[in-house]
Amino acid sequence: MAYSDDTVLSKLSALNETQEGIVTAANWILFHRRMAKRTAELWLQRMKESTSHKKLNLIYLANEVVQQSKARKRQDFLTAFSPIIAEATEVAYRNSTPDIQNKIRRVIEVWRQRAIFEPDVQGSIEQRLDDVDKGKSSASSGATGRKPLLGGAFGGSFGGGGGSSAPLEFTPILNSHKGLMLKNSSATIAVSSAGSEYQKQFDSDTLPVAPVYAARLSSLLKTLDSAHIAVKGAIEARETHIRNLERLLSQNKASLEKDKNTLKDIVAKHQRTETTKQEVEIMILKGMDEPQNSQTNGGGGGAAGSSAEHDAASPKSPEVEALTPPGQPAYDNPRSSASTSVLPPQFHQGASELLASLAAPLSGVKREKRDEPEVFEGLDDDVADMFRNEQMGSPPKRSKIEEDDEYHP
In 3D space, the residue among 128, 131, 32, 140 whose CA is nearest the CA of residue 80 turns out to be 32
Q: Which residues have a Cβ under 8 Å from the Cβ of 59 and sit 6 or more positions away? A: 88, 89, 92, 104, 107
Query: Concatenated DSSP letters for 288-353?
Result: HHHHHHHHHHSHHHHHHHHHHHHHHHSPPPPP---SSPPPPPTTT-GGGGTTS--PPP---HHHHH
Q: What is the DSSP letter of 394?
A: P
**CA atoms lying within 13 Å on the CB side of residue 319:** 2
pLDDT tens for the chain, 409 residues: list them: 788 888 898 889 888 888 888 999 999 999 998 999 999 999 999 999 888 889 999 999 999 999 999 888 888 899 999 999 999 999 999 988 988 999 999 999 999 998 999 999 999 999 999 888 887 655 544 544 444 433 333 333 434 433 446 677 788 888 888 888 888 877 888 888 788 888 888 887 788 888 888 888 888 898 899 889 989 988 998 999 899 899 889 888 989 999 999 999 999 999 999 999 999 999 999 888 776 666 655 554 444 444 445 454 455 555 555 555 555 554 444 444 444 444 555 545 555 555 555 555 554 444 554 555 555 566 667 767 777 776 665 555 554 444 444 434 4
In this prediction the pTM is 0.39
Q: Is 5-137 a domain of CATH 3.40.50.720?
A: no
Q: What is the DSSP letter of 1?
A: -
What's the sign of the alpha-carbon dihedral 218, 220, 226, 227?
negative
In 3D space, the residue among 288, 286, 318, 291 whose CA is nearest the CA of residue 302 turns out to be 291
Alpha-carbon span 58 to 126, nearest angstrom: 18
